[in-house]
Chains A and B, each alone.
Chain A
Amino acid sequence: MEYENPKIDETINLPTEHPLKDFAILLTGVAAFALTTFYMLILLADYATRYIPFSFEQTLMDKLEQFSALEQVIGQPGEERVEQYLQALADELAITQQIPDSMSITVHYIETPELNAYATLGGHIYLFSGLLASCDNENTLAMILSHEIAHVHHRHPIVALGRGFTIAVATLSVLGASNSDISHQLLNRFGLATQLSFSRKHEIQADDTALETLQRHYGHVGGAERLFDLIGNADENPLNTLLSTHPLTDQRRQDITAFSDSHTSNEVPLIKLPAWLNEKRASKDR
């Protein structure tokens, strides 16, 4: 009997499809699914974080401060008077802005040449001396403070934190939480309460609320646009971080001008800063 091993038809076992085509379809499909899921999770986080009580934010911030470096830079001796003045102004603006009773605003004054101010969890607002030194009237200063109070008012810090954590946790669940390098990187990037980045939408909302506050408090929004002169001048300053997350300065300036035109027509007198603060600013300049 004659036996033979026939040549095997290769099309049975070997795929006819190009491996790259298969890979491209897989990658596109998985990426689209992941992005949609991420987006849905972020929307859900945005929605859900608003229901976290403000008191929890305060507790969280107290705990964070215990092991962060924040405590070392704030509350330097000799600056209590500035902090008290800023706190008083912020409290007035907070009342004008009608923030809920459960919320409290705490202003911290930080001695550093950076032109920056930010709001974070628990109603804490940080104002850098660089920015204060550049304000030559109370109205501009009030615009800055109102803007940061508005962030707190609209719960932007906790929303940003929730969003950051959602992205971090979702990424970890895809990549595998076992990879400790990636988990550390992610949690550091998104978990830092002091480096929350607000979305452009949040910045515009804070601008709008701040303008309304100014209008109600002073009867006009004069001086508000000076803020953008300050930021605009600081463009070359590498330390300036305000611009990076904030909406286009020109756009914001136009919005303010539009708001101003629709509410007041004439030139309005701006309120001077207290004399002692002006002296302090002058001494800084030297």
Chain B
Amino acid sequence: MDFLPIVLLTIIGYLSGSIIERRHFQSIRKRELQLKGILTFSAKLPPAEDFNKQSVLVSGNVVISVDYFKHISAALRNLIGGRVIAYETLMERARREAILRMKTDAKEKGASQIFNVKLETSSISKGRANQIGSVEVFAYGTGLI
């Protein structure tokens, strides 16, 4: 049996995956600082004094693919159990990126506060065996102008 393709894919996956991940985190940190002024709240309603403000739906979503290295690493982890470190960073990136996109949407619509922020996640190609999956995170909330 030929293991060479698997080994090659894992190496390529690791190299490309780690470069992309490092750059993504740099970009996330930079933009989080830039959009610091837009506040997010999980509270359903804004304080009473803001009730007369105009509201708008703001949202942002992102889909990030798993690389082959993460796929293999997680597959091995599945046999043993424990923290799937390979996927933890992936989810962290997706969550923060989705919130950033929602904030960007709010900024473009002129909102400076977002209430009732919610996050939804789903995995693409779920249930199909031997498929490299992608994760989607969708962030939405009520922006106050």
Once the chains bind, are A1 and B89 in contact (CB under 8 Å)? no
CB < 8 Å neighbour of B85 from A5, A15, A29: A15
The contact sample of 27 A-B pairs, CB cut-off 8 A, is A1-B47, A3-B39, A4-B39, A5-B36, A5-B39, A7-B32, A13-B92, A14-B88, A14-B92, A15-B85, A15-B89, A17-B85, A19-B18, A19-B69, A19-B73, A22-B73, A22-B86, A23-B73, A23-B76, A27-B76, A29-B80, A171-B1, A176-B130, A178-B129, A178-B130, A179-B130, A182-B1
Indicate whether A185 reaches chain B with its CB closer than 8 angstroms.
Answer: yes
Q: Which residues of B contact A (CB under 8 A)?
A: 1, 14, 18, 32, 36, 39-41, 47, 69, 72-73, 76-77, 79-80, 83, 85-86, 88-89, 92, 113, 129-130
Complex Cα gap A20–B41 (Å): 37
A-B contact count (CB 8 A): 53
Q: Is A30 an interface residue (CB 8 A)?
A: yes
> Which residues from B are CB-within-8-Å of A23?
69, 72-73, 76, 86
Query: Is there an interface contact between A19 and B86, defined as CB atoms closer than 8 Å?
Result: yes
A176 in contact with B76 given A4-B39, A5-B39, A5-B40 (CB within 8 Å): no
Enumerate chain B residues within 8 angstroms of A171, measured Cβ to Cβ.
1
Ranked nearest first, the 3 interchain pairs of A and B with the lowest CB-CB distance are A26-B76, A15-B85, A13-B92
On chain B, the residues within 8 Å of A30 by CB distance are 76, 79-80
Most buried by A among B32, B47, B73: B73
B85 touches A22 (CB 8 A): yes
A15 touches B83 (CB 8 A): yes
Chain B neighbourhood of A19, CB < 8 A: 14, 18, 69, 73, 85-86, 89
Which residues of A pack against B, CB within 8 Å?
Answer: 1, 3-5, 7, 13-15, 17, 19-20, 22-23, 26-27, 29-30, 171, 176, 178-179, 182, 185-186
Residue on A nearest B33 in the bound complex, by CB? A7
Residue of chain B at shortest CB distance from A178: B129
A7 to B35, CA, bound (A): 11
Query: What is the CB-to-nearest-CB distance from B129 to chain A, in angstroms, rounded to a whole number?
Result: 6
Distance of B118 from chain A, by nearest CB (Å): 16
Does B1 lie within 8 Å of A186, measured CB to CB?
yes
Q: Tell me which of A7, A14, A26, A179 contacts B89 (CB under 8 A).
A: A14
Hey, which chain B residues are within 8 Å of A17, CB to CB?
85
Residues in chain A near residue B113, CB distance under 8 A = 3
Contact A26 B88 (CB under 8 A): no
Greatest chain A CB density within 10 A among B18, B41, B79, B83 is at B79
Task: Give me 14 other A-B pairs in contact (C-beta within 8 A), A22-B85, A26-B80, A186-B1 excluded.
Answer: A3-B113, A4-B39, A5-B36, A5-B39, A15-B83, A19-B89, A22-B86, A23-B72, A26-B73, A30-B76, A30-B79, A30-B80, A171-B1, A178-B129
**Min CB distance, A16 to chain B, in Å?**
10
Q: Which residues of A contact B73 (CB under 8 A)?
A: 19, 22-23, 26
**With A5-B36, A26-B77 as contacts: A20 and B47 at CB distance below 8 Å:** no
Q: Which residues of B contact A20 (CB under 8 A)?
A: 14
Residues of A close to B89: CB separation below 8 A: 14-15, 19
